[in-house]
């Protein structure tokens, strides 16, 4: 049974030690996180076209901007929409909408509506994600730390009035539904001193790791320090003047069955929630596979 140990965590990223496992399991977890964890993303937009009058100044603005509709739609689609899995449904699973034709689906339980109304100014005005307003629950507003994401630029006489519709989806259907970026894993490694006399060549460079970091057997097991050692070894490895002299005096050795798993979310959900959802998705798929095998045999 795999064992998980959280090494570091903040709102949008995690680093986990996976023990008693193999590469196939860790890679399955990685692929599930990328492709199967549900996430909200803007899927449709409706732009109000024509001339609009500013009630305060009496000036007229035209619904016009430099970007094409396709480019604008792509930028809005990639925004991190807050996702609460327990409170919303896929449209084809929504109790209120699943029996309707696709074009008629959309209710507060399976769709989030955003609106924006912004006009340009002389010299240009950057339209940012914070200008999107959600119709309904305020916790679905774009997270404050992502409010400065630029979307387009409006000049004097230009205006953008639009509605945006977000639905739940999976990364395997479109990248905008993938909640993570930079999902990686590597085998856990230990640093090993093979030749003490030549290892001094690394320590004399006065980088990050010293001889005192190794135990009496000449091994370095601390995960953070091994990462520093990996960087230090670049100064004595291939392409350096002392590669042949150093000659693998210190090497990195894989730890069997242990892996360092790291990922970062796009801000649509917390890192912990994303990881929990990935585990649930992976577990349900294994249960379904087990059931299918039981029926077959």
Domains of the chain: 3-36+181-264 (3.30.1360.10), 39-176 (2.170.120.12)
Mean pLDDT value of segment 176-193: 95
- Under the banding of pLDDT at 50, 70 and 90, the label for residue 159 is confident
The answer to whether residues 209 and 225 touch, using CB atoms and an 8 Å cutoff, is yes
Share above pLDDT 90 across residues of the chain, in percent, rounded to a whole number: 74
Q: Checking DSSP bridges between strand 159-169 and strand 219-220, what pairing results, if any?
A: unpaired
Q: Which long-range contacts (CB under 8 A, 24 or more apart) does 199-202 make?
A: 199/249, 199/250, 201/236, 201/242, 201/245, 201/246, 201/249, 202/232, 202/233, 202/235, 202/236, 202/246, 202/249, 202/250
Using alpha carbons, select from 36, 21, 254 the residue that is nearest to residue 5: 21
pLDDT of residue 294: 76
Tokens 């809005």 correspond to 76
The answer to whether residues 43 and 77 touch, using CB atoms and an 8 Å cutoff, is yes
pLDDT of residue 248: 93
Query: What whole-number distance in Å separates Cα of residue 260 and Cα of residue 270?
Result: 19
Residue 222 has pLDDT above 90, yes or no: yes
Say which range, 1-5, 32-36, 161-165, 192-196, has the weakest mean pLDDT.
1-5
Q: Which residue has the higher pLDDT, 11 or 120?
A: 11
- Under the banding of pLDDT at 50, 70 and 90, the label for residue 266 is very high
pLDDT of residue 60: 66
> What's the chain's length in residues?
297
Query: What whole-number distance in Å separates Cα of residue 27 and Cα of residue 25?
Result: 5
Mean pLDDT value of segment 80-106: 93
Query: What whole-number distance in Å separates Cα of residue 276 and Cα of residue 237?
Result: 39
Residue 50 has pLDDT above 80, yes or no: no
The answer to whether residues 119 and 61 touch, using CB atoms and an 8 Å cutoff, is yes
Query: What whole-number distance in Å separates Cα of residue 19 and Cα of residue 201?
Result: 34
Mean pLDDT value of segment 156-183: 92
pLDDT of residue 122: 85
The answer to whether residues 118 and 159 touch, using CB atoms and an 8 Å cutoff, is yes
Query: What whole-number distance in Å separates Cα of residue 136 and Cα of residue 254?
Result: 51
φ and ψ at 120, to 5 degrees? Answer: -85, 180
3-state secondary structure of 107: coil
pLDDT of residue 286: 75
The answer to whether residues 137 and 130 touch, using CB atoms and an 8 Å cutoff, is no
Mean pLDDT value of segment 280-295: 78
Q: Which residue has the higher pLDDT, 54 or 22?
A: 22
The answer to whether residues 164 and 77 touch, using CB atoms and an 8 Å cutoff, is no
Mean pLDDT value of segment 236-247: 91
pLDDT of residue 56: 67
Residue 297 has pLDDT above 80, yes or no: no
Residue 79 has pLDDT above 70, yes or no: yes
Across all residues in the chain, what is the average pLDDT? 91
- Under the banding of pLDDT at 50, 70 and 90, the label for residue 55 is low
Mean pLDDT value of segment 107-115: 95
The answer to whether residues 153 and 66 touch, using CB atoms and an 8 Å cutoff, is yes
Mean pLDDT value of segment 48-70: 74
Using one digit for the tens of pLDDT, what is the confidence trace for 117-151? Answer: 888 888 889 999 999 999 988 999 999 999 999 99
Using alpha carbons, select from 100, 81, 105, 224 the residue that is nearest to residue 164: 81
């Amino acid at each position: 049974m795999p064992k998980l140990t959280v090494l570091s965590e903040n709102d949008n990223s995690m680093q986990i030690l996976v023990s008693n496992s193999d590469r196939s399991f860790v890679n399955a977890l990685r692929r599930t996180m990328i492709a199967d964890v549900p996430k909200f993303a803007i899927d449709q937009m409706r732009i109000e076209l024509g001339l609009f009058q500013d009630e305060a100044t009496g000036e007229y603005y035209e619904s016009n901007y430099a970007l094409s509709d396709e480019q604008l739609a792509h930028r809005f689609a990639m925004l991190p929409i807050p996702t609460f899995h327990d409170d919303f449904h896929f449209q084809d699973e929504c109790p209120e909408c699943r029996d309707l034709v696709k074009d008629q689906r959309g209710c507060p339980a399976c769709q989030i509506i955003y609106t924006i109304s912004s006009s340009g100014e002389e010299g240009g005005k950057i339209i940012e994600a914070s200008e999107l307003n959600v119709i309904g629950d305020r916790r679905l507003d774009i997270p404050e730390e992502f409010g400065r994401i630029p979307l387009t630029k409006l000049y004097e006489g230009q205006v953008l009035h639009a509605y945006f519709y977000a639905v739940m989806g999976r990364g395997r259907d479109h990248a905008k539904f993938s909640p993570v970026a930079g999902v990686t894993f590597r085998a856990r490694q230990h640093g090993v001193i093979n030749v003490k006399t030549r290892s001094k060549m690394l320590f004399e460079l006065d980088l990050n790791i010293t001889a005192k970091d190794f135990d009496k057997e000449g091994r370095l097991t601390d995960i953070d320090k091994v990462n520093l050692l990996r960087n230090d070894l670049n100064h004595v490895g291939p392409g350096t003047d002392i590669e042949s002299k150093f000659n693998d005096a210190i090497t990195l050795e894989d730890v069997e069955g242990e892996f360092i798993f790291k990922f970062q979310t796009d801000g649509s959900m917390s890192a912990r929630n994303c990881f929990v959802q990935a585990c649930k998705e992976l577990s349900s798929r294994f249960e379904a596979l087990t059931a299918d095998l039981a029926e077959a045999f």
